[in-house]
Every structure is written in structure tokens, then in C-alpha cells.
Amino acid sequence: MEYINKIQENTFAAACYNDNSIEELVAALAMDEADAADCATWGITAAEWRAQIALALNAKIDDTQAPE
């Protein structure tokens, strides 16, 4: 649960976490370039785009490993 606590509300990372699967987040990180539309919409750089997706992905993975 370490990563979910790092995601701030109303951020690109939160949107990625809420709206995408692990597979979709992995695919996004495999892209050669950041999504220009996402960057423009959220007012973030390509590096921030990657970091926010990675944060959302790590939080999703944590969720799958959390005890019930």
C-alpha cells in the first residue's frame, strides 16, 4: 500500500489508477513517447507523464498483492 498513499487526488496518476488496468499501464510505459494529448490536458511534461503512470502501475500492483 506504499504507492497508493503517494497518489494525490485529482492528478494524472489518480486518473490512470482509476481508469486503467495493469496491462494498459504497462502498455503506456512501453510507448516510445508520452501521449501529447495527456500532457497537454494535465499540464505535465513527458517525464512527469511517465512517472505518474509508473506510480499508478505500482499502486495497482500493490493492490493485487495486498492481503484481504
Structurally, the chain folds into a number of domains equal to 1
- What residues make up the domain containing 12? 4-65
Stretch 14-34: mean pLDDT, rounded?
97
Residues 34-67 pLDDT 10s: 999 999 999 999 999 999 999 999 999 998 886 7
- pTM of this structure: 0.88
Which positions ≥6 away from 34 have C-beta within 8 Å? 45, 46, 49, 50
